[in-house]
Amino acid sequence: MAKDNRNTWEVWLDAPTLAPKQRVGSLYQNLVKTVVPATFAYSADWLQAPIKFALDPRLELYKGEQTPEVDFPAFGVFMDSAPDRWGRLLMERRELLNAKQQGRVPRTLQETDFLLGVSDEVRMGALRFCEDEKTQFVFQDTLAAPPVTSLAELSEIARRIEEPGIEKLPEYQKWLQMLISPGSSLGGARPKANFREGDGALWIAKFPSMSDTYDVGAWEFVTRKLAERCEIKVPDASLAKFNSNYHTYCSKRFDRVKGAHGLERRMYVSAMTLLERRDGQDDGSYLHLIQAIEDHGAQDHVDSDLEQLFRRVVFNVLIGNRDDHLRNHGFLREPTGWRLSEAFDMNPSTTKVGHALTLDGQSNAPDVNLVLKTAQYYRLKDAQAQSIFDDIKAELSHWKDVAHKHGLSSSEIERMTAVIQA
């Protein structure tokens, strides 16, 4: 409801593993560009709830409206469910189309427009939004997660939607509508869409891009297979091939679990949010992730999550996964704190020399010796750290066999020889 040049959105937490669905506060979307885009206030009921926790480290548990830092459109926990480049592209295309049909000048979409324009069914995490004094959550679209049988068609549409001049075709409006609900919730630059498997589980399909020069999807699948062999927790995944020479990588959503009443949401935040940082800060480190686990970790799981993180760092160095920034690490809420989520978005990079995060607080060079020297911060003895490294190194010695098994050509494998340290 618009009031005093702003809209009020009720924020609900829908995470049955934590508590019954309940309103946790109000998000105030300011419509005047000279003020902060969005503020938040906890509800009185949430502040008194036994399970209460700070949704975002910057959102302290007290009564009253809270304002994000300068240049933040909203608190990080909300922006974690906003789309990145692909989803934004689709929303901007929709606005251009709507403006043309309505005979008006297109609006410049604000960050909060992207946040609130995501389909409720596929929104990342467990926060849901509805207009003040209304009961239906925003953008409840039954087409948001089409069945797996639609993937071939979606793959073709995703390919065509990147073509210049596509908006002139008569099918454009239909194609855009088919993509925007399943695809607008997702981060990253690559074409992608949510879909449902036969058992009702929610998955993500990452389609090949027109700009691809090698089989990115197949390499992500191979990387995920190798990570699993290295005892790194990863989501279920599969590989498909439709109307392209390259593969589509499909990954099960780890923020959804089967529950007593169907598919249930899990509360999620990015490492960026938990560490109170922002996009563009270039001094992030794996040591900061250690700090996040120690400061906010779930009771009795800190040691195991630190070991998982150590395995992940060693693996990333050896496999060549350099795009390991703070949005590519996440956490899931449990009653006693945050758990490191499954590893995702891992792929060997042929273009990036250093990691997005420093390994020891100073250097981002892909040197596993730097990682081994930080073992104590992960609460590991030197012998334990060396044993983990040896195990991962041994598993990665089979990377070419795994790549061959999953359809990668000799030339594709040769391309990665200079990247993968095994």
390 within some domain: yes
Spell 219-248 as b/e; 16+ CB within 10 A means b.
Answer: bbbbbbbbbbbbebbbbebebbbbebebbb
Task: Give the burial class of 411: count Cβ atoms within 10 A of its Cβ; 0-12 exposed, 13-18 middle, 19 or more buried.
Answer: exposed
Are the C-beta atoms of residues 297 and 305 closer than 8 Å to each other? yes
- Reply yes or no on whether the pLDDT at 163 is more than 50: yes
Domain final residue, candidates 66, 98, 131:
131
- Reply yes or no on whether the pLDDT at 290 is more than 80: yes
Q: How confident is the model at residue 342 (pLDDT cuts 50, 70, 90)?
A: very high
42 within some domain: yes
Return the pLDDT at 407: 92
Domain final residue, candidates 99, 131, 163:
131
Same domain, 165 and 276: no
Domain final residue, candidates 100, 131, 162:
131
With tokens 């089979």, the residue in question is 398
Give the residue numbers spanning the domain of 114.
2-131
Average pLDDT over residues 299-308: 98
| CATH classification at residue 236 | 3.30.200.120
Q: Determine if the pTM surpasses 0.85.
A: yes
pLDDT, averaged across the chain = 90
* Listed range (130-139, 216-225, 308-317) with the worst mean pLDDT: 130-139
Q: What is the pLDDT of residues 68-99, one digit of tens each?
A: 988 788 899 999 998 888 888 888 888 888 88
Same domain, 350 and 299: yes
Identity of the amino acid at 204:
I
**What string of DSSP letters covers 138-168?**
TT--TTSS-BGGGHHHHHHHHHHHTSTTGGG
257 within some domain: no
Check residues 175 and 238 and name the one with the higher pLDDT.
238
Q: Strand 127-131 relative to strand 6-13: parallel, antiparallel, unpaired?
A: antiparallel
Return the pLDDT at 412: 96
Same domain, 280 and 210: no
Are the C-beta atoms of residues 49 and 15 closer than 8 Å to each other? no
261 within some domain: no
378: which 2 tokens? 């992960």
Percent of the chain with pLDDT over 90: 64
137 within some domain: no
Distance CA 365, CA 317 (A): 9
HSE-up of residue 183 (Cα within 13 Å, Cβ side): 31
Return the pLDDT at 1: 47
Q: How confident is the model at residue 141 (pLDDT cuts 50, 70, 90)?
A: low
Q: Count structural domains, the chain.
A: 3
Same domain, 33 and 81: yes
Check residues 172 and 421 and name the one with the higher pLDDT.
421
Return the pLDDT at 154: 84
421 within some domain: no
Q: What is the pLDDT of residues 202-215, one digit of tens each?
A: 999 999 988 889 99
Same domain, 326 and 292: yes
Distance CA 291, CA 273 (A): 13
Distance CA 281, CA 357 (A): 10
119: which 2 tokens? 């389909």
Same domain, 107 and 216: no
In 3-state terms, what secondary structure has residue 333? strand
Same domain, 275 and 411: yes
Residues β-bridged to residue 203? 195, 252
Q: What is the pLDDT of residues 353-391, one digit of tens each?
A: 999 999 999 999 999 999 999 999 999 999 999 999 999
Are the C-beta atoms of residues 282 and 272 closer than 8 Å to each other? no
Check residues 173 and 389 and name the one with the higher pLDDT.
389
Average pLDDT over residues 274-298: 93
Average pLDDT over residues 238-249: 93
| CATH classification at residue 411 | 1.10.1070
- Reply yes or no on whether the pLDDT at 253 is more than 60: yes
136 within some domain: no
Same domain, 271 and 366: yes
Distance CA 110, CA 87 (A): 14
Percent of the chain with pLDDT over 70: 95
* Listed range (38-47, 133-142, 207-216) with the worst mean pLDDT: 133-142
140 within some domain: no
Q: How confident is the model at residue 133 (pLDDT cuts 50, 70, 90)?
A: low
Q: Strand 248-252 relative to strand 237-240: parallel, antiparallel, unpaired?
A: antiparallel
Same domain, 157 and 281: no
Distance CA 358, CA 279 (A): 16
Same domain, 335 and 243: no
Same domain, 277 and 333: yes
Distance CA 222, CA 238 (A): 10
Task: Give the burial class of 179: count Cβ atoms within 10 A of its Cβ; 0-12 exposed, 13-18 middle, 19 or more buried.
Answer: buried
Helices (H), 198-301: 216-229, 271-274, 286-296
Same domain, 122 and 181: no
